[in-house]
């Protein structure tokens, strides 16, 4: 089972991302969960959301404290929130930033796997908005590799209708442009 | 077998209710409402279901409105949680006293003092004695299935009682997970049109909700108690039929590795499957641990509980609510009273867990077992503890 | 609830205590509550019908001659008719 924690700010679509990922994974025949950090949420405030994906039925319903992957939708959260809290030593950190993985490793004093991609830049070019939640799904799929981009298509189309293709294009670019540390 | 799809459970419950040919739903549309009501209003507005959707100014009015509509013979639904359920409280015994087959989805959450809104069972427990059939879902699939079954149980000629389907708030309602929807044609076959025992209609006047003095009140209360107890027979029949038609079976008390267990745990609601993982871990270490999951809260399944705990030495009852100044959690109290007259019964322990959204993890469940196993002299028997409380 | 003499058992209570006989409340004679009775003085009565309108029990009826009288099976003796009668044609008289 892969457990993912998403960090974002209220309004950046972290919850939409976990929903899309879970819906797509389940359509692809896997088992998955997607859930927000429960409680009141405010626009702009740091929020977290969670994904679980497995090949067999998922029973556990408690929170995720030791994720396999952490994905940060907004690099300004680094320093504000301990984004690597509980991340397994062999875990992977993905950050939406134009910086290199090495720069992020130094900033966080983190020695594990780091991947970066300028998701916001891609989203702005592809969709005209600086909202990188769907874009970063592409980055995540590249890193975790449990399913391909084409398996996101149906869920994204269902959710976004006529702007779905732009989201899928952005997702594809993030998938291709992501840089990894090792 | 239907295809598994991913959907948020609250939305899925609304979809399932939408499969039940409801005539009317009344809800209070603001906090503490869940996505159940929001999505149901979408289904009505989009013309996907042909029903009246009435938004009212309070949950008191929501329950009043569904009582009135149910009296006309309509199939009705409402949903609420937390403070909303507390505000409905006054109407709940009226709905059951008038024997109206209302179905209500409850996204179980804490009640205020202080304001919290996160998941526990402190909203449903004060409604325990209101005369409603009360079912608990463990996962999203059960939330869908029980919501459909609830109409059939409620409307059965030998039942005619309201049913509430308890769906843990957030832990279930806000979870996107794999779900299977039953085929619409099969649902139509499973759930025939409601045949009411009486209807409010000018062509054939009747009085519903009449006055009663002490000369009749006792007889009326006795009749209601018998009706609720007798509903278990119908509930079992409905679950039997469901299993035949849809392949998923339901029992008042579910068990997991309980047959040969020395030490049992009892859960109600969404924590059951997480506890199962703890039991798998304990079994791997040679501990004969097992789980009991209470699905039917009212009518309380006395015989089934007695049968499954008979051979265990210890029983840990978990509660998601507090009976302040009382004997422990409300489920604990019920289990103790169920086993009081049994000569062979386990030593019973009570942990009050997961209050106001406090997470309970697999290691937490393992620790509960270990703590009870370590109590060799049974010192903590019949007492209760707030699990994880800071001291 | 039941037409037999004596009180029904719990098994005989209708589902939801529904009363299926419309108007069965008229079997209960509220006139037994009455300590005073209204007596009309038709010399003063102007047939305005105020007593008929205000009677909370609906037991004041108009006779063929246009004057009013109360059905004593149901009149509780509340005195509202006498209170409202502005020509003061109704007097409340002690029963017994």
Tokens of B63: 């329950």
Name the residue of chain A whose CA is nearest to B176's CA.
A34
Nearest CB to C7; choose among B198, B215, B227: B215
* pLDDT, mean of residues B305-314: 96
Cα separation, B136 vs B92, in Å, equals 18
Burial track B357-370 (b if 16+ CB lie within 10 A, e otherwise)? bbbbbbebbbebbe
Q: Are residues B270 and B221 in the same domain?
A: no
Count of domains for chain C: 1
Residues B335 and B233 in one domain: no
**Residues B132 and B66 grouped into a single domain:** yes
For an interface test with C, the pick among B98, B207, B211, B222 (most C C-beta atoms closer than 10 Å) comes out as B207
Residues of chain C under the 50 pLDDT cut: 1-3
pLDDT band at A87 (very low <50, low <70, confident <90, very high): very high
CATH of the domain at B19: 3.40.50.970
Residue B301: CATH number of its domain: 3.40.50.920
Cα–Cα distance, A133 to A151 (Å, whole number):
17
- Which of B190, B221, B246 is at the close of a domain? B246
Measured from the Cβ of residue A38, the count of other Cβ atoms closer than 10 Å reads 17
* pLDDT (mean) for B135-152: 98
Q: Flag whether residue B149 sits within 8 Å of chain C, measured between CB atoms.
A: no
pLDDT mean over B286-296: 98
Q: Is pLDDT of A42 > 90?
A: no
Whole-number Å distance between alpha carbons of B5 and A28 = 9
User: Does C have 3 or more CB contacts under 8 Å with A?
Assistant: no
- On chain B, the residues whose CB falls within 8 A of the CB of A35 are 170, 174-176
Report the distance separating Cα B216 and Cα B206, nearest Å.
19
Q: Is B109's pLDDT higher than 90?
A: yes
Would you call B118 and A62 a contact, using CB atoms and an 8 Å cutoff?
no
Is there a contact between A31 and B7 if contact means CB atoms under 8 Å apart? no
B277 and A39 within 8 Å at the Cβ level: the answer is no
Confirm whether B47 is domain-assigned. Answer: yes
Over residues B34-55, the mean pLDDT reads 97
Which residues contact residue B286 at a Cβ distance below 8 angstroms, ignoring those fewer than 6 apart? Answer: none
Same domain, B221 and B284: no
Tell which of B203, B230, B246 closes a domain: B246
B370 touches chain A (CB under 8 A): no
Alpha helices (H) in B19-53, listed in sequence order: 35-45
| Residues in chain C closer than 8 A to B197 (CB atoms) | 15-16, 18
- C6 belongs to a structural domain: no
| B-interface mutation test, from C6, C7, C9, C17, most B Cβ less than 10 A away | C17
| Record: contact A59-B273, CB cut-off 8 A | yes
Measured between CB atoms, which of A24, A38, A60 is closest to B170?
A38
- Is A60 within 8 Å of B277 when comparing Cβ atoms? yes
Contact with chain C for residue B212, Cβ under 8 A: yes
Q: Is residue C7 part of a domain?
A: no
- Does A35 sit within 8 Å of B176, measured CB to CB? yes
Task: Give the residue from chain B lying closest to C6, CA to CA.
Answer: B215
Nearest chain C residue (CA) to B198: C18
Three state DSSP letters for B228-259: HHHHHHHHHHHHHHHHHHHCCCCCCEEEECCC
B-C contacts at Cβ under 8 angstroms? 54
% of residues, chain B, pLDDT over 70: 100
State how many domains chain B has.
Answer: 2
Residue C45 sits in a domain of what CATH number?
3.30.70.20
Say how far apart CA B44 and CA B106 lie, in whole Å: 20
Share of chain B above pLDDT 90, in %: 98
Q: Is pLDDT above 80 for A174? A: yes
The torsion angles phi and psi of B386, rounded to 5 degrees, stand at -80, 105
CB contact under 8 A, C13 and B223: yes
Nearest-by-CA chain A residue for B359: A62
Q: Is C57 left (phi over 0), alpha (psi -120 to 50) or beta?
A: alpha
Whether residues B91 and B37 share a domain: the answer is: yes
Is C17 part of the contact surface with chain B (CB cutoff 8 Å)?
Answer: yes
Q: Residue B222's domain spans which residues?
A: 4-246
Mutation target vs B (from A27, A50, A61; most B CBs, 10 A cutoff): A61
Are residues B226 and B287 located together in one domain of the fold? no
Q: Could you list the residue range(s) of the whole structural domain that residue C53 is in?
A: 28-94
Is C70 within the bounds of a domain? yes
Selecting from B97, B100, B207 the residue whose C-beta is nearest the C-beta of C19 gives B207
User: Residue B1's pLDDT band (boundaries 50, 70, 90)?
Assistant: low
Residue of B nearest to C19 (CA): B207
Domain boundary among B180, B214, B246: B246
Residue A35 touches chain B, beta carbons under 8 Å: yes
**Separation CA B47–CA B68 (nearest Å):** 24
- C90 forms beta bridges with C40
Q: Is the pLDDT of residue B255 over 70?
A: yes
Does the residue C15 lie in any domain?
no
- Pair B339, B305: CB distance under 8 Å: yes
Find the CB nearest B206 among C9, C11, C19: C19
User: Is ipTM over 0.85?
Assistant: yes
Domain residue limits at A82:
2-180
Q: pLDDT tens across A139-172, in order?
A: 999 999 999 999 999 999 999 999 999 999 999 9
Contact: A61, B276; criterion CB under 8 Å: no
Contact between chains at B8 and A40 (C-beta distance less than 8 A): no
* Whether B220 and B132 share a structural domain: yes
| pLDDT for the residue numbered C96 | 78
CA B156/CA B154 separation, integer angstroms = 6
Tell me if C74 is assigned to some domain: yes
Q: In this predicted model, what pLDDT tens digit does every residue of B329-351 receive, in sequence order?
A: 999 999 999 999 999 999 999 99
Give the gap in angstroms from C-alpha B77 to the nearest C-alpha of chain C: 19
State the Rg of chain A over Cα: 15
* Chains within contact range of chain A (3+ C-beta pairs < 8 Å): B
Assigned domain for B391 exists: no
d(CA A93, CA A95): 7
Own/partner long-range contacts of C64-69 (Cβ < 8 Å, ≥24 apart): C67/C40, C67/C42, C68/C40, C69/C40
Q: B52 to chain A, minimum CA–CA distance in Å?
A: 27
Check C1 against B216: CB less than 8 A apart.
yes
CB–CB contact B99 C20 (8 Å): no
User: Which chain C residue is nearest to residue B160, measuring alpha carbons?
Assistant: C15
Which chains neighbour C (Cβ–Cβ under 8 Å, 3 or more pairs)?
Answer: B
Number of helices followed by number of strands (H, E) in chain A? 6, 7
At C25 the pLDDT is 83
B52 φψ region: left (φ > 0), alpha (ψ -120 to 50), beta (else) = beta
- What is the C-alpha separation between A84 and A92, in angstroms, rounded? 9
Structure confidence by residue, pLDDT tens digits, A48-70: 999 999 999 999 999 999 999 99
- Is B309 buried (19+), middle (13-18) or exposed (0-12) by CB count in 10 A? buried
Q: Is B280's pLDDT higher than 80?
A: yes
Distance CA A77, CA A85 (A): 13
Does B115 touch chain A if contact means CB atoms closer than 8 Å? no
| Cβ–Cβ under 8 Å, residues B330 and B350 | no
Which tokens go with A93?
Answer: 């950190």
Q: How many domains does chain A have?
A: 1
Segment A26-43 mean pLDDT? 91
Closest by alpha carbon to B253, among B266, B238, B263?
B266
pLDDT at C2: 46
Residue A48: CATH number of its domain: 3.40.920.10
Contact at CB, A32 and B276, closer than 8 angstroms: no
Backbone conformation region of residue C66, classed left if phi is above 0, alpha if psi is from -120 to 50, else beta: left
- pLDDT value of position A28: 96
Shortest CA gap B367–chain C (Å): 48
Residue C5 lies in a domain: no
Q: CB–CB of A141/A17 below 8 Å?
A: no
Between chains, do B206 and C22 touch, taking CB under 8 Å as contact?
A: yes
Radius of gyration of chain B (CA): 21
Tokens at residue A153, please? 């298509």
Q: Is B175 on the interface with A (CB under 8 A)?
A: yes
The pLDDT of residue A40: 74
DSSP state for residue C25 in the 8-state scheme: G
């Amino acid at each position: 089972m892969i457990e993912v924690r998403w960090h974002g700010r209220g309004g950046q679509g972290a919850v939409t991302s976990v929903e899309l990922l879970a819906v797509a994974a389940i359509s692809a025949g896997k088992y998955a969960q997607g859930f927000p950090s429960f409680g009141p949420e405010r626009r702009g405030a740091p929020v977290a959301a969670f994904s679980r994906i497995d090949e067999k039925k998922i029973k556990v319903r408690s929170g995720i404290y030791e994720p396999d992957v952490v994905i940060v939708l907004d690099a300004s959260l680094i320093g504000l929130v301990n984004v690597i809290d509980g991340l397994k030593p062999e875990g992977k950190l993905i950050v939406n930033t134009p910086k290199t993985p090495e720069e992020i490793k130094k900033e966080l004093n983190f020695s594990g796997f780091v991947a970066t991609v300028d998701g916001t830049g891609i989203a702005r070019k592809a969709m005209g908005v600086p909202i990188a939640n769907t874009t970063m799904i592409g980055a995540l799929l590249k890193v975790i590799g449990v399913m391909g981009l084409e398996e996101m298509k149906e869920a994204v189309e269902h959710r976004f209708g006529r702007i779905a293709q732009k989201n899928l294009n952005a997702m594809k670019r993030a998938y291709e442009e992501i840089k990894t540390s090792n | 077998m239907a295809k598994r799809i991913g959907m948020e459970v609250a939305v899925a419950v609304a979809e399932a209710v939408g499969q039940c040919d409801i005539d009317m739903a009344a809800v209070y549309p603001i906090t503490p409402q869940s996505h159940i009501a929001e999505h149901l209003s979408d289904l009505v507005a989009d013309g996907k279901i042909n029903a009246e959707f009435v938004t009212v100014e309070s949950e008191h009015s929501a329950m009043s409105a569904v009582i009135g509509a149910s009296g006309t013979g309509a199939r009705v639904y409402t949903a609420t949680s937390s403070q909303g359920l507390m505000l409905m409280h006054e109407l709940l015994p009226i709905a059951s006293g008038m024997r109206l087959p209302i179905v209500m989805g409850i996204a179980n959450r804490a009640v205020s003092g202080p304001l919290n809104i996160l998941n526990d069972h402190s909203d449903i427990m004060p409604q325990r004695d209101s005369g409603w059939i009360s079912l608990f879902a463990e996962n999203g699939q059960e939330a869908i299935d029980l919501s459909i079954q609830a109409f059939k149980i409620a409307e059965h000629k030998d039942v005619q009682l309201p049913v509430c389907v308890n769906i843990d708030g957030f832990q279930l309602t806000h979870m996107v997970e794999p779900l299977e929807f039953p085929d619409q044609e099969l649902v139509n076959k499973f759930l025939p049109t409601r045949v009411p025992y009486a209807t409010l209609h000018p062509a054939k006047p009747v009085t519903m909700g009449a006055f009663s003095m002490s000369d009749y009140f006792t007889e009326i209360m006795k009749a209601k108690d018998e009706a609720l107890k007798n509903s278990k027979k119908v509930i079992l029949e409905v679950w039997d039929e469901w299993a035949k038609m849809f392949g998923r079976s339901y029992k008042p008390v579910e068990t997991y590795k309980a047959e040969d267990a020395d030490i049992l745990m009892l859960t109600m609601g969404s924590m059951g499957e997480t506890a199962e993982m703890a039991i798998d871990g304990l079994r791997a270490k040679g501990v004969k641990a097992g789980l009991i999951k209470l699905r039917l809260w009212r009518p309380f399944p006395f015989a089934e509980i007695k049968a499954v705990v008979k051979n265990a030495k210890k029983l840990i009852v978990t509660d998601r609510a507090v009976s302040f100044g009382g004997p422990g959690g409300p489920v604990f109290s019920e289990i103790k009273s169920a086993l009081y007259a049994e000569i062979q019964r386990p030593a019973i322990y009570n942990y009050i867990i997961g209050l106001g959204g406090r997470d309970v993890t697999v290691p937490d469940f393992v620790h509960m077992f270990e703590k009870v196993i370590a109590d060799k002299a049974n010192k903590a028997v019949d007492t209760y503890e707030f699990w994880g409380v800071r001291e | 609830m039941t037409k037999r003499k004596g009180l029904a058992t719990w098994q005989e209570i209708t589902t939801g205590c529904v009363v299926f006989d419309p108007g069965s409340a008229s079997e209960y004679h509220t006139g037994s509550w009455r300590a005073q009775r209204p007596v009309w003085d038709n010399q003063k009565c102007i047939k305005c019908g105020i007593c008929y309108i205000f009677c909370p029990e609906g037991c004041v009826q108009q006779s063929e001659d246009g004057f009013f009288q109360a059905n004593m099976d149901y009149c509780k003796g509340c005195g509202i008719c006498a209170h409202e009668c502005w020509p003061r044609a109704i007097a409340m008289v002690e029963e017994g």
